[in-house]
Chain A
């Protein structure tokens, strides 16, 4: 499957949310799609053994792990993941999961090295990490050189950090948006003014396209799955509010974790797992469910998991959370398509409302 075109379907002035049409060789999709991530890919592989279905997302991402011991990227499972995406007709996007320090210190030599590591492996969509301080002129010169050495079927996705200096972020985004490019944003917890300013500017530009016009495709990478400081709202919703079209949450690599943390994870009881609650549109744990609903939804849910799902209880909870978050984003798409009052729709759900009230609405003034 390959990407043909991205078009703006509708811009909602009040919510500043945009509905887009993603045209691929396999058909058309709407935006606000959660990608099949590393952990979901593993769950799908297990479910396949029992003949269970997989997600219908047209996007699969593969976050690459930085091996702290060998000080190199771990490409050992990329071929398997790519094969899996091919089987289900998905666009495959590899991504070097860099921490803030790695992203802030990257230079062009390293960025090009990462680029060719993936170009040489025959990836169709290749990330190009834009070093801090790069201006648009330099970026264009560099990427023109990169384009001249890749094949016609390969496409570059430009990766910027949401903590990129505001002026340089603005100048790059302005030009790249016009060029209907693939844009990736490395996201964080949305705690600094720089992140809010950059993302608000991105959203403003995203809203400037008219119905029927070409539009860029914006990817959000590496964001936290749950925003604990914002009433446990899902990261997928958070970045949907700031114009992300494709969402790929942060991967947690067990190989990189110290043994005592691993032990803690293994010892977790069901009461400590976060369940996605579609009534409130956010995550909660057993204790709060008992206090609010009078029942422990997490435990009830785990008791209903059948062995032929091929997954452990906590994996099923994660699987279901992924599924329900996508359903909720589709409801926003439906409301947009029907030209309903989307802000009112969002404000009907507590977790969404809290985030909207605290972060989204105030950012409209930027």
Chain B
């Protein structure tokens, strides 16, 4: 289930979502879409997205050494996030 992400991660996610939606994207495409960021920042960014479950990571069918990234839609991620909050609320009220 998706979790909240830091502001800077959200800013970068928005850029990627506007450009690629839920199409499979490669690391190179992400790097080109986020030109201010060095490799360090991009890998931390992708790690944050992965930990928060805002992205699905799959192996590239053409080249098994590479990965492709599929973003969850904002609606789906926030929906999952709200469901978790709702469940937690119910647990507390019980």
Contact assessment for A353 and B36 in the assembled complex, using a CB-CB cutoff below 8 Å: no
Q: Is A56 an interface residue (CB 8 A)?
A: no
Measured in the bound complex, the distance between the Cα atoms of B41 and A232 in whole Å is 10
Q: Which residues of B contact A280 (CB under 8 A)?
A: 8, 36
Contact of A284 with B40 at beta-carbon distance under 8 Å, contacts A348-B8, A353-B8 already known:
no
Of residues 315 to 366 in A, which have CB atoms within 8 Å of B's CB atoms?
A: 344, 347-351, 353-354, 357-358
Residue from B8, B36, B41 having most chain A Cβ neighbours under 10 A: B36
Residue from A231, A288, A349 having most chain B Cβ neighbours under 10 A: A231
Interface string of B19-55 (1 = CB under 8 A from A): 0000000000000000111101100110110000000
Cross-interface CB contact of B8 among A284, A288, A344, A350, cutoff 8 Å: A350
Contact assessment for B36 and A284 in the assembled complex, using a CB-CB cutoff below 8 Å: yes
Q: Is B7 an interface residue (CB 8 A)?
A: yes
Q: Which residues of A contact B40 (CB under 8 A)?
A: 229-231, 354, 358
Contact assessment for A350 and B37 in the assembled complex, using a CB-CB cutoff below 8 Å: yes
Interface string of A288-328 (1 = CB under 8 A from B): 11011000000000000000000000000000000000000
Contact assessment for A348 and B44 in the assembled complex, using a CB-CB cutoff below 8 Å: no
Contact of A357 with B47 at beta-carbon distance under 8 Å, contacts A231-B40, A231-B41, A350-B41 already known:
yes
Offer 21 A-B interface pairs, CB within 8 angstroms, sorted by A: A229-B40, A230-B40, A231-B38, A231-B40, A231-B41, A280-B8, A280-B36, A284-B36, A288-B35, A288-B36, A291-B35, A347-B6, A349-B7, A350-B12, A350-B45, A351-B41, A353-B9, A353-B48, A354-B40, A354-B44, A358-B44
Q: Which residues of A contact B48 (CB under 8 A)?
A: 353
Cross-interface CB contact of A348 among B7, B12, B36, B45, cutoff 8 Å: B7
Contact assessment for A292 and B36 in the assembled complex, using a CB-CB cutoff below 8 Å: yes
Contact assessment for A354 and B36 in the assembled complex, using a CB-CB cutoff below 8 Å: no
Closest chain-A Cβ to B51's Cβ sits at a distance in Å of 10
Q: Which residues of B contact A230 (CB under 8 A)?
A: 40
Closest chain-A Cβ to B4's Cβ sits at a distance in Å of 9
Q: How many residues of B contact A (CB 8 A)?
A: 15
Measured in the bound complex, the distance between the Cα atoms of B35 and A288 in whole Å is 7
Q: Which residues of A contact B37 (CB under 8 A)?
A: 231, 350
Contact assessment for B35 and A292 in the assembled complex, using a CB-CB cutoff below 8 Å: yes
Measured in the bound complex, the distance between the Cα atoms of B47 and A232 in whole Å is 19
Residue from B35, B41, B48 having most chain A Cβ neighbours under 10 A: B41
Q: Which residues of B contact A229 (CB under 8 A)?
A: 40
Contact of A353 with B44 at beta-carbon distance under 8 Å, contacts A348-B6, A348-B8 already known:
yes
Q: Which residues of A contact B38 (CB under 8 A)?
A: 231-232
Measured in the bound complex, the distance between the Cα atoms of B35 and A283 in whole Å is 15
Q: Which residues of A contact B47 (CB under 8 A)?
A: 357
Closest chain-B Cβ to A45's Cβ sits at a distance in Å of 35
Measured in the bound complex, the distance between the Cα atoms of B31 and A195 in whole Å is 31
Measured in the bound complex, the distance between the Cα atoms of B12 and A291 in whole Å is 13
- For A351, the closest partner residue in chain B by CB is B41
Q: Which residues of B contact A292 (CB under 8 A)?
A: 35-36
Measured in the bound complex, the distance between the Cα atoms of B68 and A138 in whole Å is 59
Q: Which 6 A-B pairs have the closest CB atoms?
A: A292-B36, A291-B35, A350-B8, A288-B36, A348-B7, A348-B6
Measured in the bound complex, the distance between the Cα atoms of B37 and A291 in whole Å is 10
- For A282, the closest partner residue in chain B by CB is B41
Measured in the bound complex, the distance between the Cα atoms of B48 and A354 in whole Å is 10
Q: Which residues of B contact A344 (CB under 8 A)?
A: 6
Q: Which residues of A contact B9 (CB under 8 A)?
A: 353
Contact assessment for B36 and A291 in the assembled complex, using a CB-CB cutoff below 8 Å: yes
Interface string of A118-154 (1 = CB under 8 A from B): 0000000000000000000000000000000000000
Contact assessment for B8 and A349 in the assembled complex, using a CB-CB cutoff below 8 Å: yes
Q: Which residues of B contact A350 (CB under 8 A)?
A: 8, 12, 37, 41, 45
Q: Which residues of B contact A231 (CB under 8 A)?
A: 37-38, 40-41
Contacts A280-B8, A353-B9, A358-B44 given; 16 further ones with Cβ under 8 A?
A: A229-B40, A230-B40, A231-B37, A231-B38, A231-B41, A280-B36, A289-B36, A291-B35, A347-B6, A349-B6, A349-B7, A350-B12, A350-B37, A350-B41, A353-B48, A354-B40
